[in-house]
Chains A and B, each alone.
Chain A
């Protein structure tokens, strides 16, 4: 009995003196940060936090005029210094373990990320699953206050825009861990998401154009880095092609000209631009690299499984031959678009953002060691071939278009 008691007392002493979760923080002493903005201000780093004002959730207590979020800024020579600077201006300790967005001002990104952001990866609170976005042509804090969605919190508004990538692959969703992984790899250049401020047409109840007064955000396009320095942006369509090659597309839209040769004579004001569209259900891409005599060959094989989204023009979906034509037309458009993007990137940017270098490295490891320093040069001059195969499995609720007899 005595021995037991001693054992019990001893184990309690041990529990308390050994390691434990020690850093207790009451919820009403922390400010929950949802988004973080990083900018260059003069020579210093300016950090902006979007802090949730939790009182907004309590309907009857009402925080008066205080909105759901507050913004606090700190400035310092390094990010950590800027973090600490915040504490002199804001009453609560900032909890960044729920920070889901890191928005980088364009000037910040152009100075190179990795050297400046060591603290972000070292900090034990910050999640590496946070999305990384570049504020295109703007400061991060300019972008952060804008909320044109139904979400109360602007951070969630941007977050949901990124998540909408599953419906529209014209953007990328890069988390800081993805970015870091790509940064370490040889043979691929990093990309990051983009958030851009655009003017919003305000519409009143009568539907009359009230002129541009308001701003809204869009996450179309992607930012391209050489090593960790922002060098270029690519458009939404190019981003879509990038996602196709990187096998990163779930649901997306492909719009293509309705096969002309079978359009029957019918009255239509759209005479020359009959377009149809396909909604992809699954896209599978296989890339390959081959060494040729005078250079290398890049190859992609795209398999699309989709459903018909729109058929405009005289095409009878019910007819198998015409259906095949539709699939072919879809494949051709995708082929052209991707080829166009790859060639544009080769020509204008000259950086392998698609990851062909990784495949080359895997397939010819010895050769890659020799050429890895000028891989981008080789990539820019490589030939690109692409095959696309479309398989339409559904037609939607109707099969034959309504205007076809």
Chain B
């Protein structure tokens, strides 16, 4: 309850905030001799507007007869009647105004803090297509999304998670398009979350996904409004988390990994070619080192003679067995990748030069590794970047396949392939089979928007696995 005495309120609040230095409790009197207490958190409030639109009118015009809403002109003013609630509002950056003798507290929103400007995300650069990306502020992100989907059916539903962080989380979907089953399931899982902190959307991802132990996640994320809008339009639900530009979407299917937003902005032929390229890249990234080792150790007869002689020439004088050689090179490559990522940008260039020179040329010239190994390892490394969404799985699987290939030849690679396939087809994402439309196979899905990107006017239906009721995207232009 809010007491009529503002001094006791002030004490309560100061105690609630534990004398924190950024908590401001300003007590003053108006011209009409009314005692007022204003509380807020420093840095959350737009100071200029606060002076002009709150402090000044309160001091000059509040006289006991006028309502506070006649003095302060802002639509974002609310009355709150419990000190607990006031506390919460202050944490989120609002200004609490107590008036002596009043059991209500007025809460005004006048938030201003520094945010990053909207930039092109580093991880999802495109040649064609919008360059804007989400930022850390959830309200801005909502606006970005709403700007893509100017539609009254786009719904945001807000949640707060984290006992310590009180992080704002918002789910977004289009009413009428969203798969209701998925939505209900998501809400059910969200309600179960009870954690002390949500620092990034990865926390939410781990708490709601179907198979927390699988190598490939069943929740996808993106940093760009156009990608998220596209996914929402296919019946998915987006989850925005305050404090991170990475927005989650569910359900995720495997083939999203070989798709890119640009596919839909370029010519269908080229997009189809790119899709095939990504499939090749996916396989090369996972299997190339393993198959290379298996062929070289166990199946020399399968290598063309001239290539075999070249490989044998390159192997002359190399001390390590080929499996270890490839393994060490792969680890060295991961090290380069990781250090290149973590180092400050201006040092990063040094690492890449040193890495390229030492691991590449010098190692070959010193005879520690052979040139063909480097070609194979770097090809698979380059290949993994064409499917950025699946990298986390690829890297682990690559080591597994490499070891199996080195220990058991192509038989081992085949076993690894079976294990990977088994894992992929057993996954589920919010009731949608992860491997759809490959398994369960659906030709319609495969040929329209998976292996082939048909022209938009041919792509009439939404993905059937995700959206079951409102599946029609458009009426075929030929039927008009």
Contacts and interface: CB of A to CB of B under 8 A. Distances in A.
A70 to B, nearest CB: 13
B409 interface: yes
Interface residues of B, number: 28
B301 A57 contact: no
Interface of B: 294, 296-301, 305, 308-318, 321-322, 407-412, 415
B304 to A, nearest CB: 9
A319 interface: no
B299 A98 contact: no
B299 to A, nearest CB: 7
Interface stretch (A19-27, A166-174, A178-186, A363-371): A19-27
B375 to A, nearest CB: 15
Contact of B298 (A19, A21, A61, A98): A21
A21 B322 contact: no
Nearest to B419: A11
B411 A61 contact: no
28 contacts: A15-B408, A15-B412, A20-B407, A20-B408, A20-B411, A21-B294, A21-B408, A21-B409, A22-B408, A23-B298, A24-B298, A25-B297, A27-B308, A28-B315, A28-B316, A32-B300, A32-B308, A52-B309, A52-B312, A54-B310, A54-B315, A58-B314, A58-B316, A61-B316, A61-B317, A97-B301, A100-B305, A127-B301
Interface in A12-39: 15-16, 19-28, 30, 32, 34
Contacts of A15: 408, 412, 415
A26 B411 contact: no
A26 B300 contact: no
A28 B294 contact: no
Nearest to A57: B313
Given A15-B415, A21-B409, 6 more contacts: A21-B412, A25-B300, A28-B316, A34-B305, A61-B316, A95-B300
A23 B407 CA distance: 10
Given A24-B298, A97-B300, A54 B408 contact: no
B312 A27 contact: yes
Contacts of A55: 313, 316
Contact of B309 (A20, A21, A26, A57): A57
A57 B297 contact: no
A127 B317 CA distance: 29
A54 B411 contact: no
Contacts of B308: 27, 32, 98
Interface residues of A, number: 28
Given A52-B312, A54-B309, A57-B309, A30 B300 contact: yes
Contact of A125 (B301, B312, B318, B410): B301
Contacts of A100: 305
B351 to A, nearest CB: 28
Interface in A68-98: 95, 97-98
B293 to A, nearest CB: 10
Contacts of A20: 407-409, 411-412
Q: Is the interface of B mostly helix, strand, loop or mixed?
A: helix
Interface in A118-167: 125, 127
Top 8 A-B pairs ranked by shortest CB distance?
A: A21-B409, A57-B313, A97-B301, A54-B312, A54-B313, A21-B298, A20-B408, A27-B315
Contacts of A98: 300-301, 305, 308
A25 B315 CA distance: 12
Contacts of B312: 27-28, 30, 32, 52, 54, 57
A56 interface: yes
Nearest to A68: B309
B313 A58 contact: yes
B411 A21 contact: yes
B113 to A, nearest CB: 45
Contacts of A95: 300
A340 to B, nearest CB: 40
Contacts of A26: 297, 315, 321-322
Contacts of B296: 27
A247 to B, nearest CB: 30
Contact of B297 (A24, A54, A125, A127): A24
A32 B304 CA distance: 12
Contacts of A52: 309, 312
Contacts of A57: 309-310, 312-314
B322 A27 contact: yes
A32 B313 CA distance: 11
Contacts of A125: 301
A24 B301 contact: no
A16 B315 contact: no
B309 to A, nearest CB: 5
Contacts of A56: 313
A20 B410 CA distance: 9
Nearest to A52: B309
Contacts of A32: 300, 305, 308-309, 312
B411 A19 contact: yes
A235 B312 CA distance: 41
A24 B404 CA distance: 13
A61 B314 CA distance: 10
B427 to A, nearest CB: 14
A125 B298 CA distance: 12
